[in-house]
Structure 1
């Protein structure tokens, strides 16, 4: 058995969406990396279905947003969410979101969310990263162990096809290896459960002709409200004939676990009122855990995605939280490797991202509990006036309980703010993230032309937006240049953009978050430069 030595700057363990997003960010910044993925990349049972709007903004930066939109989701398929007694049965409540083709543009982002299930998204990202031997993504390659040193991490891995062993020397190792995360466990980082573990079944099936049969009653997601067994979502996976049904599995899943032992085909037939052809493709049992790692960094080993946090899929925050992890971590690793980061910069990854995961976990769990605790009276199944009254009452209760927030949550996707030693607050009265460049928050989107957003200015390095002139600009630029920190200044003459940003000068980090703002450029430019790079 041969042993192959390899050297890289960042070793990413796990080739799922988060690991590949981190790889794309490092590629964008010119950082050497290697990705180890133990599977062959085949997804027989796809999971994630929607790429959130903030993730789409990041994919826009990395040059793949257009490709994600072109993966195959039909532009005329409804994006609605409907609560029904069965697909094709009585409809109780509906949220109208239009279609990808006709939904109105959003004022606060150039990139609305996009349906792209993981069996489409994974191969697309893998192609962009590059699969071995021409690229750095090594599939069918299992991490066996690693040893941390002061200046590097030495890992050993096995090629599962030919049995050869790799010895990989990396400056940093990032575990993107899922909820069970061998990297997290080997690093000795705890991730205690915050809520009871729940068990579910996902059933993947084909239903040719179902979309046509439904016609105007079509939806992206159907929440089943069929007492006593069905209350979870059935969603379209490709906009054509592929669907996934979630039901309670064996164990403590909630008040109605009766469907746990029922065979898959019978369960699917119960969920669909029409007598239509059905083919069960696969089913799996999965455990929903609610965890946030107690820390995201242990020396030169870091965690991202499900390795750092697992939360309910309700709301669609899990993968999207992980992709934002990648955007925060990527530029900080690049700064460390380039030599301009101060000692606090990489530690700020934990400081900034862990509170976001904790808030997202609580929000997602609230959505899950709303579904699990909803009372479903048997009368809603009746084809009668009594049944219509029961359905109307249930719909009113759904409206009052805020069900829309689960599917339209811009505050969760965009509204988080970083409070850390590398963000300079100003003590000014806080406004909405949509209408103000708040320190620590994502810098607002505004159109600078037909196809150019303010977001397109951010990414390579720091960007100083100047809505006024200053004789201190040269000194400001010199302070960054002297420390090797990449900075570009942009003079903006657009009054509407200036009104949105609400400060004469706004310094934006490489991840697109505001690092500092002010009515004038500071006299102590060294303090600003050293703070935002983590050296104070």
Structure 2
């Protein structure tokens, strides 16, 4: 395999009136992911967050496989895998009347160390809750004063003009106010986004809001007491009050119980924990957190030079773990487009395609998460399942059959949701010879370019992520006219000639053009008849 690079790695102009090129508001997983992608592309950015950076009540638990592929690109996949989750801890999901009580149904997923490799990705999902993940990402981005991440800064206002955005910011430690001037601003500031509010963008609720309470607690001896009954997630089936997950947060004795706020309000936290945990073991409440489950997608993802990403653009129910991972996908889609704008080779339609491409992904995730939630909310839990009698045995067996028939595994094993979306935007060229198929078995226009192992132990995914990548298979002649068209427009392109027959069969065409975010932009049996038209299409100039 050989690789050559065309000229045209533009870095964008720098102008003294600007403090930075991209101002990111919000240093959660999505804001930090966008910062990592911009750093990967050599883009100046600043990241502001109102918090002090501490995560006292972690929320997110699992980094999905597509997100792990992106962290691989940004050089952090190994760090996430070794952040603290023990490789020998079961990843199973068990439906139980209580932890250590009657087990009704179990999905066995093995452990991080023992699960077999997946054929479609080099990076399976990884348990890494926020209290482990965010400090890791923040260190990689760089915390002020040496780096661009600045905690304790609150956004109070923003004003746009033809060339940039002026943000009004307060330093919370002393009340000092200042302005930050940027060419672009991205709101990654969560479900109650200040940026979205300042833009006047609505995010109407699709369903009634539900209020939950999370109880974070320690049970240092619980795993040892459970032995081979350990799991990652224990779905409680304890009528009338407990039907939501209790999950291990770090594999070392930290857990989180989720209950409705109404249930928690009428019971002390320790009483709830004693109902949820049947094993006689020490329990210690660490913290409580009330949160609102919403189903929202913003009416707009872009207003002028300000864009929304992550929960600022969409809030998904946590059932399935799609929310954070959808936001990290937003960051990967948006990062290369902002870099192109700053480098000067983006067409006028490039940034507009951000919402066109990412909104359907949020819609799809919202529908799947909502269906998962509905199964849990609507499931009938008869009191008899709690009985230590033959009647209880029959009731539990009936519930087990119901769970088996409901395909509950799709909440925890959903590769189609992580990998299967295909962008349909003006930036994607459809295949006139047909582009139907499955994401596992072909390089489909608009889809993530598939993983395959290359010689030397690298993945095809490792080829993608800077500029465009043209893959030429077998005896495909060098497409000189196409590389010249990219160079004339200063669009970064690398060409790779691959002679691996298995990879060629997977990619399906002699020529496959992959975008900087790793999605297929175009494929064909021969070089394009109009190379300039193709380049203008994929850069948003048509």
TM range (shorter): over 0.9
* Residue 462 (structure 2) pairs with residue 456 (structure 1): yes
The reply to whether residue 412 of structure 1 matches residue 424 of structure 2 is no
Mind listing any 5+ residue stretches in structure 1 that lack a counterpart? 251-257
The number of residue pairs the alignment matches comes to 525
Aligned ranges 1:260-409 → 2 under 5 Å? 260-409=265-414
- Residue 472 (structure 1) shift: 5.8
**Cα distance per residue 1:395-427 (max 9 Å; x no partner):** 111111110000000000000000000000114
Cα distance between partner residues in 2 of 1:123 and 1:488: 34
* Residue of 428, 433, 436 corresponding to 1:430: 436
2:445 alignment counterpart: 439
The DSSP-based 3-state class of the residue aligned with 2:461 is helix
1:43 corresponds to which residue? 55
| Match 1:143 to one of 136, 155, 159 | 155
Task: Give the Cα–Cα distance (whole angstroms) in 1 for the partners of residues 240 and 200 of structure 2.
Answer: 43
1:171 maps onto 2:177 in alignment: no
Any idea what SS the aligned residue of 1:511 has?
A: coil
Structure 2: 5+ residue stretches without partners: 1-16
Alignment of 1:132-281 (within 5 A): 132-250=144-262, 258-281=263-286
Describe how 1:470-509 pairs up with structure 2 within 5 A: 470-471=476-477, 473-509=479-515
CA shift, 1:166, in A, is 2.4
Residues 180-224 of structure 1, C-alpha deviations (whole Å, 9 max, x = no match):
001001111111000110010100000110000001000000000
Residue aligned with 1:368, SS: helix
Q: Distance in 2 between matches of 1:42 and 1:72?
A: 17
Asked which structure has the greater RCO (Cα within 8 Å, sep 6+), the reply is: 2
Check whether the contact 1:153–1:300 (CA below 8 A) recurs between aligned residues. yes
How far apart in 1 are the matches of 2:274 and 2:477?
Answer: 72
Report the secondary structure of 2:513's partner residue: strand
1:456-508 CA distance string (max 9 Å, x none) = 00000000010144456111100000000000110011011011111111000
| TM-fit CA distance, 1:249 | 1.1
Residues 222-259 of structure 1 show CA distances to partners (whole Å, capped at 9, x for unaligned) of 00001111100000001011000000113xxxxxxx45
Query: Please, what TM-score do these two structures have when normalized by structure 1?
Result: 0.97
Q: Who is 1:255 aligned against?
A: none
Runs of 4+ in 1 over 4 A off after TM superposition: none
Root mean square deviation of aligned Cα: 1.0
* Corresponding residue of 2:38: 26
CA contact (8 A) 2:193 2:312 kept: yes
Q: Distance in 2 between matches of 1:442 and 1:276?
A: 47
CA contact (8 A) 1:468 1:505 kept: no
Q: Give the Cα separation in 2 of the matches to 1:450 and 1:239.
A: 34
Instruction: Work out which of the residue numbers 51, 54, 64 in structure 2 matches 1:52.
Output: 64
The alignment status of 1:522 with 2:510, answered yes or no, reads no
TM-score (norm: length of structure 2):
0.96
3-state SS, counterpart of residue 332 of structure 2: helix
